[in-house]
Chains A and B, each alone.
Chain A
Amino acid sequence: GAGVSQSPSNKVTEKGKDVELRCDPISGHTALYWYRQSLGQGLEFLIYFQGNSAPDKSGLPSDRFSAERTGGSVSTLTIQRTQQEDSAVYLCASSLIRGNTEAFFGQGTRLTVV
């Protein structure tokens, strides 16, 4: 596609429910990243994919968070048993390869847990 696409753009869920956030990277980009932007804070790194594998999951805040990537393309970030502190904008980015190439960001999914 022309850019990184994320869906849904907005999600309101009840506390305790599971949610899935989707990221469609730019075609041909092998590296994919998830970040979280909480109110008044900078972007927080969550996880990095190279192809379908995730060499760095160090930013996932708890075991309720998981992510996968299939076919070297689409990625899904899953949050189980959502809590109010999970409310944030979740941003996905992709780059052609890891390293000095530019990372292109999607518009994000705004998650609100009520």
Chain B
Amino acid sequence: AQSVTQLDSQVPVFEEAPVELRCNYSSSVSVYLFWYVQYPNQGLQLLLKYLSGSTLVKSINGFEAEFNKSQTSFHLRKPSVHISDTAEYFCAVRSLSNDYKLSFGAGTTVTVRA
């Protein structure tokens, strides 16, 4: 079984400031890692994922996450946020052997202020 811990439930940040959302996971097997975003009144959307290869993965809107196997972490960062980044962000993992069940963290609400 896998579990995911998102260390911050709320992250307020000013526009154009950097943000980091922390995600740690626990698993006895190798996993794939995901970040999903849920904008207000919308469904979850995949933001980025790590399956294999380079441990640094990037999204098209400036977010990046780095897989750190030794620290079992997959922290999400953006160097400069916009008001439109206000949303809830969920970290999720899935084992390589169980290829359909995602285990999610509790979510981090990012509020960007001008």
Contacts and interface: CB of A to CB of B under 8 A. Distances in A.
Contacts of A90: none
B56 interface: no
Given A40-B106, A100-B51, A45 B101 contact: yes
Interface string B33-50: 000100001111110010
Interface in B1-42: 4, 6, 9, 32, 36, 41-42
Given A35-B104, A43-B90, A98-B100, 17 more contacts: A3-B43, A33-B102, A35-B102, A40-B9, A42-B4, A42-B106, A43-B92, A43-B102, A48-B101, A56-B100, A91-B44, A93-B44, A99-B100, A100-B32, A100-B99, A103-B46, A107-B42
A42 B107 contact: yes
Contact of B106 (A3, A4, A41, A56): A41
Nearest to B4: A42
Place the interface of chain A in its size category. 20 to 34
Interface in A60-114: 91, 93, 95, 98-100, 102-108
Contacts of A105: 36, 43-45
B10 to A, nearest CB: 11
Contacts of B44: 43, 91, 93, 105
A99 B99 contact: yes
A48 B36 CA distance: 19
Interface of A: 3-4, 31, 33, 35, 40-45, 48, 56, 91, 93, 95, 98-100, 102-108
Contact of B103 (A40, A41, A45, A108): A45
Contacts of A56: 100-101
Given A42-B4, A45-B101, A98-B99, A107 B41 contact: yes
Nearest to B100: A98
16 contacts: A3-B43, A4-B43, A33-B102, A35-B102, A40-B106, A42-B4, A42-B104, A42-B105, A45-B102, A48-B101, A91-B44, A100-B99, A102-B49, A105-B44, A107-B42, A108-B43
